[in-house]
Amino acid sequence: MAIIEEPLALTSGEPAVAERPLGVLTRPQGGNGWRDWLSTVDHKRIGIMYGAAAMFFFVVGGSEALLIRLQLAFPEQGLLSGQLYNEIFTMHGVTMVFLFIMPLAAAFANYLIPLQIGARDVAFPRLNALSFWVWLSGALFLNSSWLVGGGGADCGWFCYSPNSGIVFSPSHGVDFYALGLLIAGIASLVSSINLIVTCLNMRAPGMTLFRMPVLTWMLLITQFLLAFALPVITVALFLLLFDRLFDSQFFDPAAGADPLLWQHLFWIFGHPEVYIIILPSFGIVSEIIPTFSRKPIFGYSFMVFSGIAIGFMGWGVWAHHMFVSGIGPISVVAFSLATMFIAVPTGVKILNWLATMWGGALRFTTAMLFATATVAMFTIGGLSGVTHALAPADTQQTDTYYIVAHFHYVIFGGGVIGLMGGCYFWWPKVFGYMLDERRGKWHFWTMLVGFNLTFGPMHVLGLQGMSRRIDTYSSGFGFEFWNLVSTIGSFIIAISVAYFIYNIWKSKREAVDRPPPGPDPWDARSLEWSIPSPAPVHNFDYVPVIESQDDWWFRKYTINDDDKVVRIADPEMVAQKGDATGVHLPSPSFWPLVLALGLPLVAYGLIFNLWLCVIGGILAAVAIYSWALEPVDDPDAHHDDSDGDGADDLPNDPALQEASRDDGGGG
Amino acid sequence: MNRPSLPAMRHALRRVRSLAVLGLVVVASGCASDAELDTLKPRSDVARQIDNLLDPVLYVAGVVMVIICGGVVWLGWRRRVKNYEDDEFPAQIHGNNTLEVAWTAIPAVIMAIIAAATVITQLAVSETEANAMTIEVDGDARTWEPKVVVVGQQWWWEYRYYFDVDVTEDWLGDPLDLPVADIVTSSQMVIPTGEEIELLVTSRDVIHSHWIPALNGKRDARPGFFSPWKLEADEPGVYFGQCTEFCGVSHSRMRMQAIAVTPDAFGEWINEQMQPAEVPADAEDYVAALRSGEPSPMGETDVASARGLAAFVDNCSSCHLVDGVNDHDYQGASTETGSAPNLTHFASRTTFAGGFFNLYNSDGTINRDDLAAWIRNPGDVKDNAADDLADGIAPRGMPTLGLSERTIADLVAYLETLGTKPGLDLIAATEVE
């Protein structure tokens, strides 16, 4: 498992000639100004930008949720028109799924995968930057439909045809939806390939696959799901766009099309998407619970394989979204059974978390509170999921608030709450200061109470027969009380999120008076805690050699002959110092950003004026060629040439040198 | 580790119990109301089969939830520590294969049992029985296989009844262009009790979903296709429904009712619906001229309903059909879907505009206010996509026609003559809020 450093263009022995082909193609130098953020290829900075942008869209999508809840607080309210309500609930769903949870999970994946496997960066650093900028341009493009597209998409996040067709949705909202998701999809696809290669090829010596932390495993599975799911939605979105822009008839029933085509394509993507959202959170919980139980994860290999099983089985359950669509009783039964049995590996995970806590010494930091709440809340969502798997019963439940309750318990309870725990856990590693624990606990409890008040009552509403996606409801059906409770709950969540943001700001201000957190503030187990906080730009001074699972923990502790844990070293002493100099790092580049700017121009062009496509296309083409032509490194930068002989200081192992020469160069 | 004292724990338990009781009371009070859409109050065999499948699973799920969530809380409480001391390590257990196998196998067995029950129920609710009714209409025996063609459209439901034919998908042909039916009604489906009614559900535009929770689950109405479904009511009564597939701007206002009546009453209803529309006094010559294909304008008349008939022909008949008035040259509606509710027996129904408004006040008089408001400016009282459209785009929903108040009053007077007025008890039972 060789760790392959970014190679130089020159092999040893030849003179180093600083070539500068074209001024514009010179690689920018690293630094700390805003320009350096725009050109960064550092996986940590990219992770931070993903996280910050995701939090911004969390506020956007959350505001949309509050408008929905205000409208439904009382029966027959006219706060929003029917049309505006449809746009807002559509954009709420799209924003939360594609612009909040996925990028927040991407933030963790980008930041943590290289650190957890002992790598200096991801496999293709410039592609990583491209992923972020393309995702951001898609996200901003999607939301720009509020300003220039005559409102948001009004077809629901699932955008069923023919309701998404030009006849039934004549504004540009759906075009923005399709193009925006296509652009964002490019980002996720590129990123998934990048991170898969990183996990498979960049692990430190000794870091075998089955020594990887569970989080890295879950993120790896997520990347595989993305790589296979995104092409499907891409096809579907292309068909939709051709129908809308060029009068094709893929989804026109009058021309003989079957509207189920869209549903199958959408849910073949859409169901794995659920696991794309939830598995990163499972991984985070699997890191936090062992740390604060002072025990290793219970049943590591079962945890990993149940994740893999979920990843596989997730592909065979999509039609459970279509039990009432008219797919025939045999299909219904088949998908019903497949759906039930996906509960088994999920149950294994839950029980393993409990077994990890069992007999442990549980320290309830904010992160631990969030992690344990994730286990409990996800369990509720999983159990209501079993009740939908009963296909005949689902004919009563589907498209009611019972479903809304279910998937919010899964996605918010299982996903967002876990990611929040991850924020508290890794905050000191990323930013070098701790989030205040006392305020964090307030954040936790308000969020937990608000969450349950918001989504718990929806179970009752759904069983009482309240349909989803209705912009208002009449009094007399018994919907009034629980809707009001739900609205109150949603505002408690809003307060809780605001308090989280306040906690970030306030903790940062207080950090100057507090001792720095040190490399390993939680006494944790994985490699990222063996380097200083915040993580230095080069990650590791030297590439660690891994001898076991939880390698970092075993550098601090050993188990003596009486099976007692004995401390053998102080973390400060064994941690890397982060003071290595002359570490060869990938050079920054502006071209990913330029390429990302071209794509929304093409998209605007498809909607408004094809000439814009030409401009966007030229921009993208220039960026691609410049990317290919710019030098691999800034010729003036110093790399691994610490002995000054003009050659890269490659490791002394000839095999490694050979490998590094064969490697075509990153990014 | 500090363990909580026993009295303290008892106190905590008591507090938990009182909270639980409080929670139950709140839940109960939240549920107590008419709850016409309640999915847990089945009123037919099929709905009961579904409920019988769901109920035990809900209990099992509840128990598992209490165990897991309780386990998290209990473990958290029992094993909590404030801070870590260096020598305070629990046993370092990496796993236990027996346990892993057990908690893979036990859920798998539970799921297998649930799966078996699901398959059995699924097959049972998919069964259909072939039957046929004979109904005497004006002295002629007509056979009716209890089938209703259900058509969803933005934003109302149409129910079509065909007699003396085997209503199959093949016979019906193109779902977007259905054969002329013997009875067409909208937003209210009348069915006889004790009879399994087969529905053939389709749509003329986008996907809708037909759902009468007390009688059965839902079925999507897919444009271009017929989806078979069935309904059966044990008891006479009114069963409320709601479109449950998101279908555009008035999705929430697309409602319907199944009115189950005894077979005798059903026969009466059929007879009534088979009658041609009544012609108002003073309008006989006008209608005769219409039928002969030489329409002449209506002369001056003091009869409001007669003026209303003329106004209907002038303003409404390009979309709405009244049998015997504009059927001879009815070209199909000029809406996007080519269809609008058939008004031949409009006044025999108790709701209008997609089941969203009451047609009658509780004292049995016509609900003039809502009906006039609807005719005056439909988009004002129920969102639609019928006005301010670009050239070449057909309306979806009823457009604003800019009629004078006098014309509106005349139209209301005419509409009131169309069909037999329902009884007060039906008006009360079908009342929407």
| Chain B CA closest to residue A567 | B86
Residues of B in contact with A468 (CB under 8 A): 244, 246
B375-412: per-residue pLDDT in tens?
999 999 999 999 988 888 889 999 999 999 999 999 99
Asked if B118 lies within 8 A of A337 by C-beta distance, the reply is yes
- Which A residues 368-397 touch B at CB under 8 Å? 372, 375-376, 379-380, 383-384, 386-387, 389-397
**pTM, entire model:** 0.92
**pLDDT of chain B, 433 residues: tens digit per residue:** 444 455 555 555 555 555 554 454 445 444 444 678 999 999 999 999 999 999 999 999 999 999 999 999 999 999 999 988 877 899 999 999 999 999 999 999 999 999 999 999 999 998 888 788 899 888 899 999 999 999 999 999 999 999 999 999 999 999 988 999 999 999 999 999 999 999 999 999 999 999 999 999 999 999 999 999 999 999 999 999 999 999 999 999 999 999 999 999 999 999 999 988 889 988 988 888 888 877 778 888 889 999 999 999 999 988 999 988 887 667 677 788 888 999 999 999 999 999 999 999 999 999 999 999 999 999 999 999 999 888 888 899 999 999 999 999 999 999 999 999 999 999 999 999 7
Using the Cβ of B64 and the Cβ atoms of chain A, whether some distance falls under 8 Å is answered with yes
Asked if A343 lies within 8 A of B209 by C-beta distance, the reply is no
Q: Tokens standing for A366?
A: 């904010």
Asked if A326 lies within 8 A of B433 by C-beta distance, the reply is no
Residues of A in contact with B209 (CB under 8 A): 324, 399
Residues of B in contact with A467 (CB under 8 A): 242-244, 251-252
Using CA atoms, how far residue B43 sits from A356, B235, B266, B374, B425, in Å, is 47, 8, 19, 34, 20
How far apart CA B280 and CA B305 sit, in angstroms, is 6
How many helices (H) and strands (E) chain A has is answered by 23, 3
Radius of gyration of chain B (CA): 29
Cβ-Cβ contacts under 8 Å between A and B: the total is 314
Asked whether the bond before A162 is cis by omega within 30 degrees of 0, the reply is yes
Asked whether the bond before B155 is cis by omega within 30 degrees of 0, the reply is yes
Mean pLDDT value across residues A304-311: 96
Using the Cβ of B214 and the Cβ atoms of chain A, whether some distance falls under 8 Å is answered with no
Taking each helix axis from N to C end, the angle separating A343-357 and A260-293, rounded to the nearest 10 degrees, works out to 10
Using DSSP's 3-state secondary structure scheme, residue A662 falls into helix
Using the Cβ of A362 and the Cβ atoms of chain B, whether some distance falls under 8 Å is answered with yes
| Chain A CA closest to residue B51 | A393
Question: Which are the contacts of A79, defined by CB distance < 8 A and separation ≥ 6?
Answer: A67, A70, A71
How far apart CA A409 and CA A377 sit, in angstroms, is 6
| Chain A CA closest to residue B228 | A326
Preferred mutation among B216, B251, B253 to probe A, highest tally of A CBs within 10 A: B251
* Out of A302, A351, A392, closest to residue B125 by CB: A392
Using the Cβ of A71 and the Cβ atoms of chain B, whether some distance falls under 8 Å is answered with no
B65, A347 in Cβ contact below 8 A?
no
Using the Cβ of B93 and the Cβ atoms of chain A, whether some distance falls under 8 Å is answered with yes
Residues of A in contact with B128 (CB under 8 A): none
Asked if A477 lies within 8 A of B33 by C-beta distance, the reply is yes
| Chain B CA closest to residue A81 | B383
* Out of A258, A348, A559, closest to residue B104 by CB: A348
Amino acid found at B244: T
Mean predicted lDDT score pLDDT of chain A:
91
Alpha helices in A202-259 (DSSP H): 214-246
A552, A527 in Cβ contact below 8 A?
yes
How far apart CA B308 and CA B417 sit, in angstroms, is 10
Q: How large is the ipTM?
A: 0.91
Q: Cβ of A23: how many Cβ atoms within 10 Å? A: 6
Question: Which are the contacts of A276, defined by CB distance < 8 A and separation ≥ 6?
Answer: A102, A105, A222, A225, A226, A229
